[in-house]
Each structure stands twice: as C-alpha cells, then as structure tokens.
Chains A and B, each alone.
Chain A
C-alpha cells in the first residue's frame, strides 16, 4: 500500500486455471488410487476455504508403494541406460513448463504464496532442476564418483510445505537421474502440486512405480522412513523431525540426507551498496512470507550505518503489498496454516516481552485468512528467543556489530548453519567473511538465489548432505560394493 493517488486495480490470476478438483488420490505404481488412510482436507490459507479432499496412505499403502518402487528399480529404471532416463526427465521438465501457469495457480491456492513468486520462481526453478539432472543422467561416470557409479536403490523422500512443487523437483530429479526410484510424501497442508506432478509423470509415460506419491501427515512420513524396503532417506523440514528421523534410521544402513532449519545472518557492512542491501534484506526475509529455511532472518548491520539502513528498510517494507496471493501485484501472501501463524505470533510476543522494539508495516491486513504483516524487531540481542529460534515467518530481527570479527562471531553464534549473506563493496572482505561463515550457502551482495547447478545444504542443526550441482548427485550414487543390484 503506497498511496491513494494511484491504486493498482486488482489483477487476480484466474483460479480456474488450476483445474482444481474436489478429490485427489494417491499416485502409486503409475496409477491414481484410493488410500486406506483417513482422507485429509487441504485449505486455501488466504481464504480458509477447503480446496479439496485428498486421500492418504496407511501402512499397507506405504508397503505397496515401496514394493512398486523396488520392482521398478530392479526391472526397469535401474537397468535403463542413462541416455534413456534423460529423455524422460527432459520430457517432465518440458511438461512442467507447458503446464506452468496451472501449476503456479494451484501452488498459490494451496500454499498461500504470491502468484508472482510461484510463477517466476517455484515453477521455473522446478523445471530447471529436471533439465539440469536430465543432463547428468548419461554422464554420471564423469561426475567424480568412480568410473561406474550405480544407483542406491529406493529413496523415501519427505518434503515440506514451503515450496511444495520445487522441493518435489529437488528430491525426485537427482534420484531419477541416478537410476533410483522414489516414494515421496508431500506435506500434509500442501499435497496438490505434488499430485499434479504425478499427472505430469503419467503424461511423460514414466514407467509405473518409478515415482510414487503418498499424501498424509507425519505418521505416513514416519512409516516411510522406517520401512525396511527403503535404501535412502531424504528429508527437508524441521530440525526436530530431522533428529527423529536420524534416530530411526541409525544402524539400519540406510543413507540419509537432512535439510533442516536455519537462522541465517544477513551481514551489512558500512561500505555496502545500501539501496541494494535493503532490497536483499527485504528479499531475504519477506520472500515467501519468510517460510524459507535459508531466510535471512537475522540482520547484522554495522552500528555506524544502523539508523540510516533501518530507516530505508522501513520505508521499503512499507511499500510491500500484502493480500490476495492470486493478485499479480501481491508481494507478501498468506501464512501457510493456522498453526504456523500461531507460532509466529507466539515468537513475536516473546520479542516484545524480552524488550526488543517491534515495528510493523502499516499495510492493511485482510480479515479472513492467515496473514501476518511484515515485522521488523530492532534492538535485538543474541540472548533473545527471536535471535536464536527459527520463526519461519515475515519477522526480521536486527542486531548490530562493530567489527568484522564481531560480525563473524555473532553470525556463527547459532546452532544452525544453512546460509549467510554478506553485503560490502570490498571483494577481499567478501572472501575473508565467506571463509569464516559456518554456513552451507554464502551469498555475496545478493540473497535467496537458487540454481540447480549450485549445491544447497547445511551444517550442524541445519542438516547434512547437498542438493543440486555435482555434489548433489553423491547422495543418490553408490560405488564399490554398495548399492542396488549387487
């Protein structure tokens, strides 16, 4: 909301494009089938209306899906030459592009993220991951994992609700490129685009069983990762659940990669390009309503420019347009669920209670739906909960530092280690800082940029393993006497 001189007329994307159906079913062994679990209702977080009823899996469904994946791996997919697997992946990538508008609208309806982000980030990046990994499928011998790397077998993959389609692509594409098959569990609140991806896989005539998609809540995920027919577990989500999975998998011989929470520092030095730093800070924490594991949720700003930067930041945040996620001019959409909204409120209240100074964008907030106005806490100290705990919402905590050493110490003073941002015009300082950041991804003079060629992943409580790039193939390739078919 910037003025009443010039109000942009509503420019909503049509929800009909999503081809929303009242019922969705599981995708197992190449078919859409009923699940034996209690069906779940998925809700549009911007309006609180029920979008569709979705079948869920019980233990027998998990069993059936894992058996289908095993059979497909051993009889078809694992034996197929890489150049043939690549053709399927290229086809899937093109189909994602062709159905891009439908997927974007469906994603926005189910997740609450603004259409401009699902349209310009989620869907194109999902397609890019399939393209990228399609290219690897026939070149795995040259990836640096031995002359004859083999698939690991059947992967059980559990993904979060913040980038439902994109996370499915991140997980499925490398697994398939390396000759593995997949049983994927999408998040309870956002199953729709994963099931639409199932339709695309059918359209691409992917052999039955290569990918199976089982909607459901945490219990389905727990069964899946514990299933003895699984060779490899990949999980993206909360640190708490990640630790549970690690305990469950320990001693089973299953491979595991975890991509968990974060509390990233965006570090702005006094010689930074200020206007672009402000953009980067805004993008770092308000992109996708802050539902980003690598969000720049802590702003560390050099004390000598803190007041000026904060003033510019507040002005810029005031121009963010919050509201109907389907409107093409919406910058900040809806919080994905009531539970998440409660958590954000609870942590923001803790910020007040601990003496941080709260500033909230004066933007109007819709009465219906789960919304939280962009919020900046200044005068935050390391000891406060809002500086230590992952909020996973549009809430920025601002801390200051005096010297580069202090910036390093504060940035690293967190149990997490997923990402960091460095803002300075001095190239040598970027390199000096990047070497000292305990974070899997360090951005310099930018933030939240994702590319399939760049490995992504964390340290310590942010998990282990990498996704994307050459490094991301490692989790899905076996060498020596390990792996499938031996």
Chain B
C-alpha cells in the first residue's frame, strides 16, 4: 500500500477527526476515520484535466461586465478585500496607516464601502485591533510559521495563540506542504484541526500555497483535506511564492466549496491571494465566483481577495464609473 502512516498519527488523526466529524455526512465522516481512509478518499476524488480547466477559466474570462453591473462588482470587490501588508519592514506606523485606508478607502467619497479585513503578521495584530475597534473591519493574522510553515507544531500553535490573544478575528494558516507532498495527509489534517482548536472563535483560512503543490490534482486534494479539517476558507497562496493566485486554481477551489456545499449543506469560502492587481482581474474572479460556485458566494463572508495594490485600482475605476472620466494614481491615497 505504501501508506506512510504510523500507529501514533493514525490514532491522533482519529481523535482529531472526532472534533470535526460530528455533523458530517457518513461518507465524509468515514473519510477522516484514519490515515488510510483519508488517503483513499483524497486519491478517489475525480481527476482534473489541465487543458479543460484552463480552457473553461479562459472562456469565462471573456465575459463583458459593464455599467451598473461593473459598479456593483467594484463595490463588492472592495468589500471583499483583505488589505494586506506582510513585509519584514512592517512597523506600527505602516499598519496604522493601512488601517486608516481600510476604514475609509476613498476619503473624498465617504460612501465607498470599507474593506473586509486588514491582514498582518501576529506581532502587529494588537496595533491593528486598536485602530479598527468598532469599525466592522476585521483583523486577520497570518500564523503557523508563515510563509513556509517549516517549524514545530508547538511553535505553530503558539504563533496562532499569539494572534488570537492579541484580538485577531481571522487566522490565515499555511499547510505543511512538505508533509502533503510526501503523502502524510493525516499529519496535515491533524495540524489544521489543532490550529482550528487554537483559533477559538476566530475564522480559519487555510493557505494551500498552490504554487508549491504544482498540480491541479494536488490542489483539489488539498482543498478537500482542508475542508474536511474544518477550514472556514481555502486560500490559494501566501503571496511569497510564484505563481500565486491564478484563475484556473481559483475555479478549482470554487468547485470544491460548491461540491462541499452540495454534500454537507455548509457554505465555505475561497480566498485567492497574490498577483490580483487590477479591477479587470478582480471582475474576472467575481465572474468565476458567480458562475462556478454560485451567486450565494458573492459575499465577503464567502469570498475574499488577498491583495494590497488592488484596492487603489478598484477606487480609481469606481470614480471612473461615477464621474465618466479617468482620474490618476495621485487622486487615490497611497498607504
């Protein structure tokens, strides 16, 4: 069989599974019974044909969204942005100015919606929480030894607790790609379950880092693995690896949450992150959300953009739609 599970991890997969399987339909509860069952389930998922998937994604990208439909898309996309700064050079000052932007993206047009959340490293969560208290803008924190995920379970859980205790309402964890690629699915599952527990009430987004998983079959398996382990969102990328989010990968993940909903009745979210910079790109993603997952997913609770420069392009295009002429990059604030 070549199932690389040890008795110890099989046992802990089983106990981890106990925490999430209560409401699952029988065939999915069965899938997480132990390592071998999980492996059988993931390898039993239908394959993904690369040419067909990419053709479909390219076909949908030719949708022409104009006028009122475009303005609606721009406002919806703004409400879906997780405004992100994840630099070694981040400072409290930088985070504060990002929070100001998140609260009121376009100071000259106060009716422009705010973004969904600000996304920072764990040590800066406190600063963001203080800035955003009472605004309705969430604070997301990356955790679990972001971006590589190469550390011990203890460190990853401590990282998560640091973020949650500082007030993060959302946690963006990374999966252990090394474990996934060597076929230790039980270990990846168990770790997500453990982080999920450490999150408490905070929402959990699970970053698959699809650029490192390399194949669409892997992306589908990893998406199902994360959904089975209790991810509220599956997220494409850290933004630190190229390629980051792509349309075909996002199509695939939207298909996974659509199928998850069909089988369990639960609606889970998708977050493409990295490389989405223009309104045109964002609208293409929304078209995919609309036509692959369904209109219900056109909601910041179920779809987010991990982005930094996208917001300003959305704001510029918003003004263009309202004023009938183009403005320039100096008419939106740089934070």
Binding site for B on A (CB under 8 A): 2-3, 5-11, 116, 120, 271-277, 279-280, 319, 328-329, 425, 445-446
| A5 touching B49, Cβ below 8 Å | no
- Which residues of the other chain, B, contact A8 by a CB distance below 8 angstroms? 63-66, 69
| B298 touching A9, Cβ below 8 Å | no
Given A273-B47, A276-B56, A445-B52, is A329 in contact with B63 using a C-beta cutoff of 8 Å?
yes
- Which residues of the other chain, B, contact A319 by a CB distance below 8 angstroms? 291
Q: How many A-B residue pairs have CB under 8 A?
A: 76
Instruction: List 9 contacting pairs A-B, 8 Å CB cutoff, sorted by A.
Output: A8-B69, A9-B66, A273-B46, A276-B51, A279-B56, A319-B291, A328-B62, A328-B64, A446-B51
Interface residue? B22 (CB, 8 A): no
In the complex, how many angstroms separate the beta carbon of A214 from the nearest chain B beta carbon? 36
Given contacts A2-B290, A6-B295, A7-B69, 17 further A-B contacts (CB under 8 A): A2-B291, A3-B294, A6-B286, A8-B63, A9-B70, A10-B66, A11-B65, A272-B47, A273-B52, A275-B48, A275-B255, A276-B51, A280-B52, A328-B62, A328-B64, A329-B63, A445-B52
| A276 touching B62, Cβ below 8 Å | no
Q: Can you name the residue of chain B whose Cβ is closest to the Cβ of A4?
A: B295
| B62 touching A116, Cβ below 8 Å | yes
| B46 touching A274, Cβ below 8 Å | yes
- Which residues of the other chain, B, contact A446 by a CB distance below 8 angstroms? 51-52, 55
Interface residue? B72 (CB, 8 A): yes
Residue of A8, A11, A116, A277 with most partner-chain B CB within 10 A: A8
| B62 touching A120, Cβ below 8 Å | yes
Q: Closest 7 CB pairs between A and B? A: A276-B52, A3-B295, A11-B64, A328-B64, A276-B49, A273-B49, A5-B295
Q: Can you name the residue of chain A whose Cβ is closest to the Cβ of B73?
A: A6
| A6 touching B69, Cβ below 8 Å | yes
Interface residues of B, CB < 8 Å — how many? 28
- Checking B47, B67, B68, B69 against A425 with a beta-carbon cut-off of 8 angstroms, the contacting residue is B47
Given A2-B290, A120-B62, is A276 in contact with B48 using a C-beta cutoff of 8 Å?
yes
Q: Can you name the residue of chain A whose Cβ is closest to the Cβ of B58?
A: A120
| A279 touching B48, Cβ below 8 Å | no
In the complex, how many angstroms separate the beta carbon of B66 from the nearest chain A beta carbon? 5
In the complex, how many angstroms separate the beta carbon of B321 from the nearest chain A beta carbon? 11
User: In the bound complex, how far is the Cα of B286 from the Cα of A464, in angstroms?
Assistant: 46
Interface residue? B53 (CB, 8 A): yes
User: In the bound complex, how far is the Cα of B64 from the Cα of A276, in angstroms?
Assistant: 23
Per-position 1/0 for B29-66, Cβ under 8 A of A: 00000000000000000111101110110000011111
- Which residues of the other chain, B, contact A275 by a CB distance below 8 angstroms? 46, 48, 52-53, 255
Residue of B48, B49, B66, B291 with most partner-chain A CB within 10 A: B49
In the complex, how many angstroms separate the beta carbon of A294 from the nearest chain B beta carbon? 18
| A11 touching B298, Cβ below 8 Å | no
Q: Can you name the residue of chain A whose Cβ is closest to the Cβ of B286?
A: A6
Residue of B47, B291, B295 with most partner-chain A CB within 10 A: B47
In the complex, how many angstroms separate the beta carbon of A277 from the nearest chain B beta carbon? 8
- Which residues of the other chain, A, contact B76 by a CB distance below 8 angstroms? 6
| A279 touching B55, Cβ below 8 Å | yes
From 243 to 278 in chain B, residues with beta carbon under 8 angstroms from any chain A beta carbon are: 255
In the complex, how many angstroms separate the beta carbon of A318 from the nearest chain B beta carbon? 10
| A5 touching B298, Cβ below 8 Å | yes
User: In the bound complex, how far is the Cα of B68 from the Cα of A10, in angstroms?
Assistant: 10
User: In the bound complex, how far is the Cα of B67 from the Cα of A120, in angstroms?
Assistant: 24
- Checking B51, B62, B67, B72 against A6 with a beta-carbon cut-off of 8 angstroms, the contacting residue is B72
From 276 to 310 in chain B, residues with beta carbon under 8 angstroms from any chain A beta carbon are: 286, 290-291, 294-295, 298
Residue of A273, A277, A279, A425 with most partner-chain B CB within 10 A: A273
- Which residues of the other chain, A, contact B286 by a CB distance below 8 angstroms? 6
